Structure 1
Amino acid sequence: MQPVVRALHVLRAVAFAPNGITLVALSHQLGIPVGSMHRTLKVLADEQFVVRSAASKRYFVGPVARELASGHSRAVGSTSVVHPALSKLGISTGETVFITEFLDDRVVCVSLVEGRHPLRLFVRVGQEMPLHAAASARVLLSSLDDEKAAALLGQRPLVPYTPDTPRSVAEAVRRLAVIRNQGYDVCNQELDRGVWVIAAPIRRPNGEISAAISLASPIDRAPDDTTRNHLTDLVLSTARNIAIRDS
């Protein structure tokens, strides 16, 4: 039973690390040798009980564990499992907010706080985001050069989710230059009809993009430039307040 007990201890430690936790930090915290910890994490990751960020090398609770915890309902973030700044943004605005990261060559939602006004969104914890259509994914793509971004975009069909969805690799790549210039991206009914999304990069101290934070609002709650500019400022401020540190 030792491997089972060990796996449960690891899963509990990951669940109580709102900013994720590295293999080495888990090894030190639980007193488990690095080799044994690596094998345990691999099994948990293969079964999607945990997910690993390729950018920060940290482990987070995976979609299977969250589904079990929520009784197979849609995953809902809480202050005990998400970054406090993300929770604060969700509470202060009442809107749905989430964080995405690169996991290998995919962009995946790793943390989510539902708003007071639930939306039918193309997002849940563990959900892979379409690279061409999601603002969160495009923010992360903007950290790559155009050639590499185009290669990733070309690996998947560019599904037209709405009439406003980018339809070609070239169109999506052109969007990256705008994101780099203004420092954020906006998805206006390009993925979910009737939904406006603002996404901004979360950066490491050296300026590299490690993750993206997004806020999603129904169009009727963000109908004008004044409201949207206010929400954009809040998201940008929150992104700056989320510190990503390597252990």
Structure 2
Amino acid sequence: MNRPHQESVLSRAARILEAFSQDEPALTVSGIARRTGLHVATASRLVAELVAHDFLSRDADRKVRIGVRLWELVTRASPTLSLRDHAMPFMEGVHDVVGHHVQLGVLDGEEVLFLERLSAPNAVVNYTRIAGRLPLHASSSGLVLLAHGPAGLRQRICDGPLTAYTPATPATSAALRATLAEVRRQGYASCPGFVHADALGVAAPVRGADGAVVAALSVIVPQDARAQTVVPVVRTAARGISRALAGSVQPPRSRTLTE
């Protein structure tokens, strides 16, 4: 990966931070250099500076990972904290009911980014994780966000390449447009086997004080005869989060989700 020589130090540092992933949270300096396209000497110098500021840290084996200081700054200033804080009581209530995965996702570029996830040891298969991403066309949260997102974004996604994870994934422009229209019509997304044949994703929109969709609340449950019973639970919780964000009500106790 070759970059212009005039690239700023900040841009290079950003590439170093982006080299880490949840699957590979610790890297060697040479590994960072390969991933970023930086010369090893440049990567080593920038890593040393980031370590000095506690944005990165070194393990005993000299591998490098994201530092606590970076987590502290992100947590302190994140614009998603209020959303997560308002959503958490409702998510816990939904989790008490469904016993599988409950997730909160937001639109980020052309993907859904998951801010929070509650799970259980024996829950159905699920490919998402906190700070993980999925394509908009294949996930229930992504479909909700895309259905209510900018028209230009919908056009790009519908016209672009669409990966089929299973035979059920809407992987053509016509299929995706029809799915999005259905999401807008019924007020939620139901995705049986879109990402994995054994799992059903159900998501509902979370709205901000101005009524615009700011997030999607979703559950991932097994595909069985009871699967669709989670729809009213998810929709009720999503409306509750929306009201909490608007400041009109306090988050209810979890038992109200089953009433």
TM bucket by the smaller chain? 0.5 to 0.7
Letter in 1 for 2:198: G
Q: SS where residue 176 of structure 1 aligns?
A: helix
Q: Which residue of 1 aligns with 2:210?
A: 206
Cα distance 1:153–1:110, how it changes in 2: closer, same or farther (>3 A)? farther
Hey, what's the Cα distance between the residues in 1 that align with 2:81 and 2:71? 10
Equivalence map 1:73-152=2 (5 Å):
83-144=88-149, 146-152=151-157
Q: SS where residue 115 of structure 2 aligns?
A: strand
Cα distance 1:90–1:241, how it changes in 2: closer, same or farther (>3 A)? same
How many residue pairs were aligned?
183
Q: Using the TM superposition, give the Cα deviation of residue 189 of structure 1 relative to its aligned residue in structure 2, in angstroms.
A: 0.6
1:177-213 superposed Cα distances (whole Å, 9 cap, x missing partner): 1111110010001111111111100111222100001
Q: 2:245 aligned with 1:244, yes or no? A: yes
**Is contact 1:134–1:187 with CA below 8 Å preserved after alignment?**
yes
Q: 2:110 aligned with 1:58, yes or no? A: no
Q: Which residue of 2 aligns with 1:75?
A: none
Cα distance 1:161–1:119, how it changes in 2: closer, same or farther (>3 A)? same
Q: 2:220 aligned with 1:216, yes or no? A: yes
Letter in 1 for 2:128: V
Hey, what's the Cα distance between the residues in 1 that align with 2:168 and 2:149? 24
TM-score (norm 2): 0.61
Letter in 2 for 1:244: L
Q: Using the TM superposition, give the Cα deviation of residue 3 of structure 1 relative to its aligned residue in structure 2, in angstroms.
A: 4.8
**Unpaired runs of 5+ in structure 2?**
1-50, 56-66, 248-259
1:165 pairs, out of 159, 169, 180, with 169
**Is contact 2:98–2:221 with CA below 8 Å preserved after alignment?**
no
Q: Using the TM superposition, give the Cα deviation of residue 142 of structure 1 relative to its aligned residue in structure 2, in angstroms.
A: 0.8
Q: SS where residue 83 of structure 1 aligns?
A: helix
Q: Using the TM superposition, give the Cα deviation of residue 119 of structure 1 relative to its aligned residue in structure 2, in angstroms.
A: 2.6
Hey, what's the Cα distance between the residues in 1 that align with 2:150 and 2:135? 18
Q: SS where residue 165 of structure 1 aligns?
A: coil
2:198 pairs, out of 178, 194, 200, with 194
Letter in 2 for 1:233: P
**Is contact 2:143–2:180 with CA below 8 Å preserved after alignment?**
yes
Letter in 1 for 2:104: I
Q: SS where residue 88 of structure 1 aligns?
A: helix
Q: Which residue of 2 aligns with 1:39?
A: none
Letter in 1 for 2:138: A
User: Larger Rg: 1 or 2?
Assistant: 2
Q: Using the TM superposition, give the Cα deviation of residue 133 of structure 1 relative to its aligned residue in structure 2, in angstroms.
A: 1.2
**Is contact 2:91–2:103 with CA below 8 Å preserved after alignment?**
yes
Q: Using the TM superposition, give the Cα deviation of residue 2 of structure 1 relative to its aligned residue in structure 2, in angstroms.
A: 9.3
Cα distance 1:180–1:80, how it changes in 2: closer, same or farther (>3 A)? closer
Q: Which residue of 1 aligns with 2:250?
A: none
TM-score (norm 1): 0.64
Q: Using the TM superposition, give the Cα deviation of residue 82 of structure 1 relative to its aligned residue in structure 2, in angstroms.
A: 7.0
Hey, what's the Cα distance between the residues in 2 that align with 1:97 and 1:159? 24
Q: Which residue of 1 aligns with 2:234?
A: 235
Hey, what's the Cα distance between the residues in 1 that align with 2:246 and 2:74? 16
Letter in 1 for 2:80: R
Q: Using the TM superposition, give the Cα deviation of residue 116 of structure 1 relative to its aligned residue in structure 2, in angstroms.
A: 4.8
**Is contact 2:170–2:179 with CA below 8 Å preserved after alignment?**
no
Q: Using the TM superposition, give the Cα deviation of residue 241 of structure 1 relative to its aligned residue in structure 2, in angstroms.
A: 1.4
